[in-house]
Amino acid sequence: MDLGLSEIQQMLKTSAQDFLSRECPLTLVRDMEGDSRGFTDDLWRQMVGLGWTGVAFPEQYGGTGGSFADLGVLLEEIGRSLAPSPLFSTVVLGGMTVLDAGSDAQKDELISRICAGTIIMTMAVTEDSATFEPWGIEATANEQGGGYEITGTKLFVPDAEAADVIIVVARTSSGSDSADGISLFLVPSGTNGLNISPMQSIGNERVYEVRLDKVYVPETAVLGPVGEGWPIVEQSIMRATAAQCIEMLGGAEAVLDMTVEYAKGRTQFGRAIGSFQAVQHHCARMATDVEGSKNIAYQAVWRLSEGLPAQKEVAMAKAWIGPAYRRVCGTAHQCHGAIGFTKEHDLQLYTRRAKVHELTYGDANHHKEVAFRHLDDD
């Protein structure tokens, strides 16, 4: 297992860094926090033009034939720059789920459009329980007139307002095992009975409540086998968790760089504060957290990319990186002093997102339990 970047991945990383440093300054991130959609069409078109939406998809659909690990390189840089875009929801939650479970016709239509940048997708899983376990799925889908009628409420759905198609997870039947009877449906935006409302987030990211009131979809909208959708959902959540770990890694790297630069330039008692041993110890602990996060995140992404069992590795990555990102931000605030706590400083942009991402897809305690259950996996 080689977790180092290949020559192509290094070129992709350098290209992404150059592009995002030029086209996505943190001033844009601030502006988008007050925007109703949360991203600009111009930046999104440029990402599509660079082929980012097709990195992880086969060439037959218009992709570049790359891997999930290649996509991870991009997500790390997106996390570093906080680039506002629907790339995560469209590619990780939407497109890769269709690639896993879609029919040939669904793949031809949806993945081709994702690669071309003509469609935005997302996935609606969580409900009032806020759990990512199958017993939390209470939305129902009943057979009706050659299709299905879906009723229920989904929470914290990313980019739902901008999405052209939402993958909705609902229950088509009930059994003794809560994982049985779960199905996935492709619900187009604008469908009668579909209502989308914004939700507040400490990270100012665009998440929504999606209410479905007898939303009708035809039988062709079913994604995967009816009643056997939970393994598909589980794989999608695991992949999204790993992808978010990579994004958090990028954010932690940016905070470390920001803090080191500040310590070099800020003077007290006639010396740069970076020359004081206490501050050096802070930066060293931050660097340790970042390096540990890099190793464990890329191991999880590599196993998923290779099609290997990765439940343990993904759970371990989330259990470590969530708290590590928070620790890095907390230590950065100590090094920056009062300026770091102001809204005018960029550090708070990362701190707020670190708190959100620490909880999304399950907190450290949840993932420690998952890792323990898979402790003996190869």
The pLDDT tens digits for 199-217 are 999 988 899 999 999 999 9
pLDDT of residue 80: 98
For residue 135, the number of C-alpha atoms closer than 13 Å in the C-beta half-sphere is 3
Q: What is the pLDDT of residue 216?
A: 97
Residues in the chain: 378
Q: Look at residue 375 in the predicted model and tell me its pLDDT.
A: 87
Q: Which residues, at least 6 apart from 332, have a Cβ–Cβ distance to it below 8 Å?
A: 255, 256, 258, 259, 286, 340, 347, 350, 351
Residue 270 pLDDT level (bands cut at 50, 70, 90): confident
Every domain of the chain with CATH number 1.10.540.10 lies at 7-119
The per-residue pLDDT for 2 is 64
For 154-192, the pLDDT digits (tens) are: 999 999 999 999 999 999 999 889 999 999 999 999 999
Q: Is the pLDDT of residue 152 over 70?
A: yes
d(CA 72, CA 362): 20
* pLDDT tens by residue, 56-71: 999 999 999 999 999 9
Give me the mean pLDDT over the 70-97 stretch: 98
Percent of the chain with pLDDT over 90: 91
What pTM does this model have? 0.95
Q: Residues 177-186, buried b or exposed e (16+ Cβ, 10 A)?
A: eebbbbbbbb
Whole-angstrom Cα distance, residue 363 to residue 340?
26
pLDDT digits (tens, 9 = 90+) for 213-264: 999 999 999 999 999 999 999 999 999 999 999 999 999 999 999 999 999 9
Pick the CATH number of 231-373 from 1.10.10.10, 3.40.1160.10, 1.10.357.10, 1.20.140.10: 1.20.140.10
- What confidence category does residue 92 fall into, taking pLDDT thresholds of 50, 70 and 90? very high
Distance CA 371, CA 378 (A): 12
Tell me the CATH number for domain 123-227. Answer: 2.40.110.10
pLDDT of residue 267: 85
β-pairing verdict for 182-188 and 165-171: antiparallel
Indicate the CATH number for domain 7-119.
1.10.540.10
Residue 344: the pLDDT is 93
Exposed / middle / buried, residue 268 (Cβ in 10 Å: 0-12, 13-18, 19+): exposed
3-state secondary structure of 56: coil
What's residue 299's pLDDT?
95
> Where does CATH 1.20.140.10 sit in the chain?
231-373
Residue 48 amino acid letter: V
Which part of the chain has CATH 2.40.110.10?
Answer: 123-227
Angle at alpha carbon of residue 129, lines to 126 and 135, rounded to 5°: 80
Band of pLDDT at residue 36, cut at 50, 70 and 90: confident
Least Cα distance to 134 among 97, 102, 175 occurs for 175
Residue 3 has pLDDT above 80, yes or no: no
